[in-house]
Amino acid sequence: MPAKKVIETKNLSRVFKNGEIEVHALTDINMIIEQGEFVAIMGASGSGKSTLLHIIGCLDRATSGEYELDGVLVNSLNKNQLADVRNQKIGFIFQSYNLLSRTTALENVELPLIYDRTGQFTNAEELAKKALEQVGLANRIYHKTNELSGGQQQRVAIARALVNNPALILADEPTGNLDSKASIEIADLFVQLNNKGKTIVMITHEPEIAQFAKRMIYLRDGQIISDQLIENRSNKEFALKELEKPSTP
């Protein structure tokens, strides 16, 4: 049975125009990501990783090319439809968590369901609690965000991305603000979610985190320069052990 395509782009390009200056942030991106994949996107700063993720996440539009998400041709959607796609099909995770301050974990996780227009989530609180359980925060449900560590906050953000059961989880440097150990924990959490069938696309600068994924896409100057499966995937035990080794002289 061929796996379902979640993402398919054809000659996707994004050009930013600032007056006279044109920045070609993405040029002719062609890629297919299937259901159940765990893709790491790497590349130097300014190579277009975030721009690509924004377009995939329907926060931004391509200047040219086609983009199909979970069978929907995104190019033809209007603003409200894009918002609804984000609400129904995508879970976002950001480097700086972007949680509501002084608000409980539970309320933060419920947030996407407020904007649900399909009416399928009648039991928001229950779903939010379940999502928090999945990320290992069952005992922090009523803690406010400012009472949580960085790693825990990122878990809340992941729970928020999971709560509406999206087709795709997008993470832009989710471990960028965390120390190595917490980063490994988060990466491991992604692996667990992926094992349960979630499709994940994650931007990262850290090779050891990228190594948790199944596939790696490398960008340079807005173009894909390599796209390959990861052969010896990392895991939590291995990565933690590596951490304890003294750095090689």
Ligand X SMILES: Nc1ncnc2c1ncn2[C@@H]1O[C@H](COP(=O)(O)OP(=O)(O)OP(=O)(O)O)[C@@H](O)[C@H]1O
Q: Contact positions toward another protein, by CB under 8 A?
A: 54, 57, 59-60, 79-80, 83-88, 90-92, 94, 98-100, 102-103, 107, 111-112, 114-117, 160, 164
Q: Which does 18 bind (CB under 5 to 8 A by kind): ligand X, another protein, Mg ion, none?
A: ligand X
Residue (79 or 245) nearer to another protein, CB: 79
As a whole number of angstroms, the distance between CA 144 and CA 197 comes to: 30
Q: In the set 6, 48, 97, 193, which binds ligand X (CB under 6 A)?
A: 48
As a whole number of angstroms, the distance between CA 77 and CA 24 comes to: 23
Q: Least distance to Mg ion from the beta carbon of 46, Å?
A: 8
Bridge pairing between strands 38-43 and 200-203: parallel
Stretch touching ligand X by CB under 6 A, among 49-57, 79-87, 138-146, 156-164: 49-57
Q: Least distance to another protein from the beta carbon of 121, Å?
A: 11
Site for Mg ion in 23-52 (CB under 5 A): 50
As a whole number of angstroms, the distance between CA 210 and CA 222 comes to: 19
Cα distances (Å, whole numbers) of residue 27 to 3, 31, 150, 218: 27, 12, 35, 14
Q: Which does 87 bind (CB under 5 to 8 A by kind): another protein, ligand X, Mg ion, none?
A: another protein
Residue (15 or 182) nearer to ligand X, CB: 15
Q: Least distance to ligand X from the beta carbon of 44, Å?
A: 7
As a whole number of angstroms, the distance between CA 156 and CA 104 comes to: 10
Q: Least distance to Mg ion from the beta carbon of 150, Å?
A: 19
Residues sharing a CB contact under 8 Å with residue 6, sequence separation 6 or more, in sequence order: 33, 34, 35, 37, 69, 70, 167, 168, 199
As a whole number of angstroms, the distance between CA 57 and CA 92 comes to: 8
Q: Which residues bind ligand X (CB under 6 A)?
A: 16, 18, 23, 25, 43, 45-51
